[in-house]
Every structure is written in structure tokens, then in C-alpha cells.
Amino acid sequence: MNKKKNRNVAIIGSGQTKLSSHREDVNQPEMIHEAVAEALEDAGMTIDDIDCVVHGNMELFEMVHQPDMWHVIGDGAYGKAGLRLTTGGTTGATLVCAADNLVASGLHDVVMAVGFEKLQEGHTTGGITNMADPLWGRSLQTGALTGTTAYDVMEEFGAQRAKRASMKYRVIMDKHAMLNHKAHRRFGLSDDQIDAMAENSPPLVGELRMIHMCSQSDGACAMIFASEDKVEELSANPAWVVDHETVHREETLAFFEGAYRGTKSTHRVAAERLFARNGITDPRNQIDVFEMYDPSSWWGLDWMREFLLLEGDEHLKMVENDDIAIDGAFPINPSGGVIASNPIGATAMIRVAEAAMQVRGTAGAHQVKKDVNLALASGFGGTFWTVLILLSKELPQ
Amino acid sequence: MAEDEVKQELIVSKQVISVPQRFATGPVMGYFLQELRDNARIMANRCPECGRHQVPPREVCAVCRLEADQWDEVGPEGVIRHYDIVYYASPDPLTGETREVPYVLAWIKLDGTSGDAYFWHMLKENDPSKIRKGLRVRAVFNENRVGAPSDIRHFEIIEAQESGGEQ
């Protein structure tokens, strides 16, 4: 599947609010403005330099429809071209794809994407449950909570090894979050708590426990995309958008994930397509860092195998050997990931913003130690909707 | 702001939305719900090309993208293929009431289905430690049925079965 770009596009700035459980000190446009102002400052430009604003979140949560109208005062979109998108949890990554497409096509030279959520202002699990098919699934679904992956991983690798690996994944993510001052949940967990937490953290669904699950956060993210000509003029430190791939399935094969293992996952299909187009035959060696949308430490653990096209227990070993730690061979989520911070409409965009920060070397205390030439970011939403985005330091061919 | 100044009270506007809804079910899902209501039968539709069932039905086969217009009665017994024991008390969006926990969701391979059609519903079992993949279960229908998922009250484990393995 060829996806030839008309011209190259780079990320030249990004901004994030502090991500937290409560932002009752500001309303929605005020909160978004914080991220927009930081992104503009990062890019060294003003709102006058922006041609188009792409805006998104999940309306189900705050129950404000077309919130982009209210938010014009905070995101600076007044009088500019605009687009509004919502694709569930994937929204932030879809916003990145849209901004990239708008610039790559030649329609706009400089595009700002804005993703946000104030989960405190609605009901997260109720909102996600309302995404389900109203004729059947709505009466059965429990938001995004499911323990089926935990059962599967325990069945495949034994309960003890599986529980330790998923909790070790959780502890690594918390160690990363401790380095990221914008992260929401920063507990200071350590390896010696792994066995106790695996037994004592309150269960949500089966072996999916409170400590495994992502947070419900308030926050916003803004990113600025520019065409190659504009990048030469505006930025000495771009992160190029090499390519992106979206694969989705919804309810057509199985409700939520009951038959997940009977069919190839959308994650694996997206990775196969993206890697084939971009000459990636050995992702763990060719890609330097991966910001993965990991809604829980069971999914994070399990999905590594899908995204990195691994077989057997390679993904467990990567966790057990600390390969995914910030100073490991293949760092995953130096930001702390989604388990630490999850303002849903911004979450997938934060993955890409964080990957771009790693490429640009601007991640500060959570910058990985090795050089980053190629970074991968993923988004996840709905009932298996995957977006994968590849960024580079070098200008793409 | 000087410390002796009174901090501004930040007012939070509290609101509740309540929306009555009515969803058209269409002829395919509508037929499935009608059979559930009138005859307490679970109907699956079948792809004319690959033969896989979908239950509840969807208009086209997800794999072959052909109209799945052939119907077979399936169940009401089947086998647990996957399950979730839910401890988190979330609201039922149909009523706004918080669901009682723990409750069990199961993905059930109904007798007579081919392919990967796993039927998703509630499983009633007071002792969750008894639940495992491979157990045989049966649908328990409500006396008064209205053409809704809740026409099946829940599935229950069929007692006195052999210590069933997978499938």
C-alpha cells in the first residue's frame, strides 16, 4: 500500500499542560491555552504563523458537543481554517495524522493540532461504555476495563511469571513517570513491591488491578507541524514525520476482544504495513525509542509483542531484563506512558509529542541516554483501532 | 496575590444530562431481537461464502463483505471461551444505576455456530472460583421479553457436567 507524500512535514514545537486528576482552577479553553502557548513558545512563533487548527477530544466524556467553538478563545483558531476530529482514544494520534496530511498535501503550510480532555468534568467509564453498539454492547460493556488479556498471558506463560512481568512493566513506567514533572501519577514504586502489589492491589476485572490501569487525567497537548520549506525558515531542530498507518476493526469480528487471539491484531497489521513501507526489518535495532499507548500494564506487556512483531516470550524477556527502561536497549515510554497520565483526547497525541521530544533532544530529565534517530509512537482506541506513527531526525527520503 | 488577601472561590457548575433515546434496530438486528422476544430463540446469520456465523447478527460478513442473509438457530447452550469477573462498580448507561458487583461477563461459543462467533452476555454464578474456560452453560430467558439483550436474563453453568476441557 503506497502512501507517497507530496512534501515532507516536521513537528517543530509541542506543549503540554501539567497532567493531573483535577484542573478545577481553569475551564476548558483556559487549560487548552496553556498547551497552545507552550507549543508556540517551543516553536518560536506566534498564533499569527498558524494557518489551520485541528482540534479533537472525545465528546462523550464532558458531553460538550463541538467544543471547538467554545475553545476558539483558548486555542487561537478565530478566523483560521479548522477541522474537528474524534476517533475515541485514538483521537490524539488521528489529529497528528490529519495535521500531517494537511501539510503534506500542500493545503496548509503550518498546522497546529490540539487534543484535550477534562475527565474530571464527566464520567470516564460511563462515556466509554456509551461508545458500544447501543443495540447490544451498551448493556454489557464496562468502559475499557477487561481482564481477558491478563487471563491469556497467564495461560500462555504461567500465572506467576505473567503477574510479575506485568507488575514489573508497571514499576518501570512509574520510574519513568518520576522523571517527568508533567506526569499525573508518580508513586515512587520499586521492584521490591512487585509481588505484594500483584496480590494486594484492588482488583477491577479479574487480574486487572487498580495499579495496572491507566489514570483518569485532565490535560491538553498542542503540536505544530510545518512543511519542509517552512521548517528551513522556522526551525533548526525538527522531528520529521516519516509515515503513519491507521488500522481499525470495530465490532465486525468480535465484541471488544473476546476473539482477539483468533485473528491478527490491528497492532500487528499496522506494524507490518508501516515497517514494510519504511524498510524496517528489525524494529528493536532500527527504532531507538517507542512511545506506546498502554492503557494498562497487561495490555502494554502483551502489545509489545504485536507492535514489535515478536514471537514467543521475547516481550516478557524485554521487561524482565529491563530492556524497556529509559537506559535500556529499547526504551518504551520514557514519559511514564498512559498508565501514568491519561487525558484521553490528548493521550495519543502526547505519545507522538513525547516521541518528537526524544528525536529533538528536548525531553529533559526523561530524555533517553542514546541518540534517537528513529522514534515510534502508537495510539489506541475504540474496539481495536490502532495508529502507528514513525518520526526521524533525518529528513525522510 | 498577597497572602493576606482572600483567595477567589472557584465555582464549579454541576449539571446532570438525562436523554431519552430510541434506536432503530433495522431488519437484521430487528429479526434477531424479534425471535428473542417472541420465541426465545437465538438466531445467528451465516455468510453464504465462508459459512461463519455472526451472533448477534451484523448485516454483512466481516471477512467476505457479503450480505449474510442465511439464518440458523443456535444455542441456547454453549461453552465459555472467555470471561471477565468485574469488581469495579460502573454505571449502567441504560439506567444510570451503579451495577452490583461482582458480576461476570462471558464470551460463549454457542452450540451450532461456526467460525469465531463468540456471544457476549452475563454469566450468573455465585462462586466465581468455579468459572473456567470450557465449561458448558445455558441461556436463561426472561418470562416477559421486550426485544432487548436483557431478554436473556443471563447464562448459567450446567451442573453435573464432566470436568470439561477446552472446547
User: pLDDT tens for residues B34-71?
Assistant: 999 999 999 999 999 999 899 999 898 877 889 999 99
Residue among B36, B51, B55 at smallest CA distance from B118? B55
List phi, psi (to 5°) of A318: -60, -35
What residue numbers bound the domain in which A54 lies?
9-125+215-234
Residue of A123, A134, A256 lying closest to B23 (CB–CB): A134
Residue A206 within any structural domain of the chain: no
> What's the pLDDT band for B93 if we cut at 50, 70, 90?
low
Name every chain B residue with its beta carbon within 8 A of the beta carbon of A25.
10
Say which amino acid occupies B118. Answer: Y
pLDDT tens, position by position, B31-42: 999 999 999 999
Residue A109 within any structural domain of the chain: yes
- Torsion, CA B23, CA B27, CA B33, CA B35, rounded to 10: 160
Task: Enter the ipTM.
Answer: 0.83
**Helix/strand/coil for A2:** coil
> What's the pLDDT band for A250 if we cut at 50, 70, 90?
low
Residue of A125, A136, A206 lying closest to B84 (CB–CB): A206
User: How far is it, in rounded angstroms, from Cα A385 to Cα B7?
Assistant: 45
Do residues A54 and A82 make contact, with C-beta atoms less than 8 angstroms apart?
A: yes
pLDDT tens, position by position, A125-180: 778 877 878 888 887 777 767 888 899 999 999 999 999 999 999 999 999 999 99
**Cell for A335?**
514519559
CA distance A215 to chain B (A): 14
Say which amino acid occupies A257. Answer: E
Do residues A234 and A16 make contact, with C-beta atoms less than 8 angstroms apart?
A: no
User: How far is it, in rounded angstroms, from Cα A126 to Cα A123?
Assistant: 5
Name every chain B residue with its beta carbon within 8 A of the beta carbon of A253.
62-63, 116
Q: What is the DSSP letter of B128?
A: G
Residue among A237, A209, A150, A232 at smallest CA distance from A339? A209
CA triplet B144, B147, B148: central angle to 5 degrees? 100
Chain-centroid distance, C-alpha A97? 13
Name every chain A residue with its beta carbon within 8 A of the beta carbon of B93.
126, 129-130, 138
Residue A169 within any structural domain of the chain: no
CATH of the domain at A47: 3.40.47.10
**Chain A interface includes B149 (CB < 8 A):** yes
Residue A351 within any structural domain of the chain: no
Residue among A144, A83, A90 at smallest CA distance from A387? A90
Residue A52 within any structural domain of the chain: yes
User: How far is it, in rounded angstroms, from Cα A39 to Cα A17?
Assistant: 10
Nearest chain B residue (CA) to A155: B133
A336: phi > 0 → left, psi -120 to 50 → alpha, else beta; which? left
Q: How many domains does chain A have?
A: 1
